[in-house]
Amino acid sequence: MDTFVIKAAGSCTSGKRKRENLETKTEEGLMDTQLTCDDASRGLLSNEKATWPPYTWTKIKSQGLDCDYTSLFCKAEADDIFLELENKLTYFSDELSKVKVFGKWHNIARKQVSYGDPGLTYTYSGVTLTPKPWIPVLECIRDRVKEATGYNFNFVLINRYKDGNDHIGEHRDDEKELVPRSPIASVSLGACRDFFFRHGASRGKIPSSRIEPVKLQLAHGSLLMMNYPTNVHWYHSLPARKKILAPRINLTFRKIILVK
Ligand SMILES: O=C(O)CCC(=O)C(=O)O
């Protein structure tokens, strides 16, 4: 039987890391959060010797936004996993790589696939995805997320960005198939990319409110927990970044309602 063991696990290192809270109040009383690649990888990706885990969580909060960020895998583990994903994942073909926006079909600017428990489906932007069966490397990541957060997920949506030209536009993960109030766990591997949240009230030609966007950078081996009610109020996106030449794989673990 095919298995996957993180070979690098024994060489993982971590140091004493202090808990950080990036909440800051701006003059308008709004939260303004900035997390950079350096913050994201500090400690975990360094060469300090210690046992791995523990996980050091950073709380990211704003009006109706509640996220937690940590380094889930050390660099050696993340490198192993990235390689395994590159070797084992098979992405959906062209018909399933389209989205319907305002009645028009568009090719998505990235590759996509979903894996998960049998019998689940997930529909977004006019496309219904049926997950492929779990493979060992994905079970390994899913189980690490469970160990770090206590949450069990039955589905993962995977996006592969070949370089900084690939991106995902502003959207919310608010599909009706999601278990109400369940968090979404976003694991990133490969190139560190900017990731933005924008409040719904701050969108459009005439925004009803000026709530500061929340800007993060998602590092290799990181986990971002998007907790309820983040996806009710906030849109997220991964903008194009022409200077980024390396690929990135993002896995969003979700809890989907099984309809019998
Ligand atoms: O690649 C990312 O970090 C974002 C992916 C995303 O927005 C999604 O799966 O809904």
Cis peptide before 180 (omega within 30 of 0): no
By most ligand atoms within 8 Å of CB, the mutation choice from 108, 160, 184, 236 for ligand 1 is 236
Which residue's CA is the nearest one to ligand 1's atom 4? 238
pLDDT, one tens digit for every residue, the chain (260 residues) = 688 888 777 677 654 333 333 333 333 333 334 455 554 444 333 333 334 568 999 999 999 999 999 999 999 999 999 999 999 999 998 777 788 887 888 888 999 999 999 999 999 878 898 999 999 999 999 999 999 999 999 999 999 999 999 999 999 999 999 999 999 999 999 999 999 999 999 998 888 888 999 999 999 999 999 999 999 999 999 999 999 999 999 999 999 999 87
Walk across the sheet containing 168-171 and list its strands: 168-171, 234-238, 193-199, 214-218
pLDDT of the residue at 39: 47
Q: Which of 91, 250, 256 most suits a substitution to test ligand 1, by most atoms within 8 Å of the C-beta? A: 250
Nearest CA residue ID for atom 9, ligand 1:
252
- Residue 236 Cβ < 6 Å to ligand 1: yes
- Which residue ranges make up each domain of the chain? 27-254
CA distance 25 to 209: 17
For helices 75-88 and 136-149, angle between their N-to-C axes, nearest 10 degrees:
140
**Cα 211 to ligand 1 centroid, rounded to whole Å:** 22
User: In angstroms, what is the C-alpha Rg of the chain?
Assistant: 18
pLDDT at residue 13, as a whole number: 63
- At the top level of CATH, the class of 27-254 is mainly beta
Give the per-residue pLDDT at 31.
Answer: 37
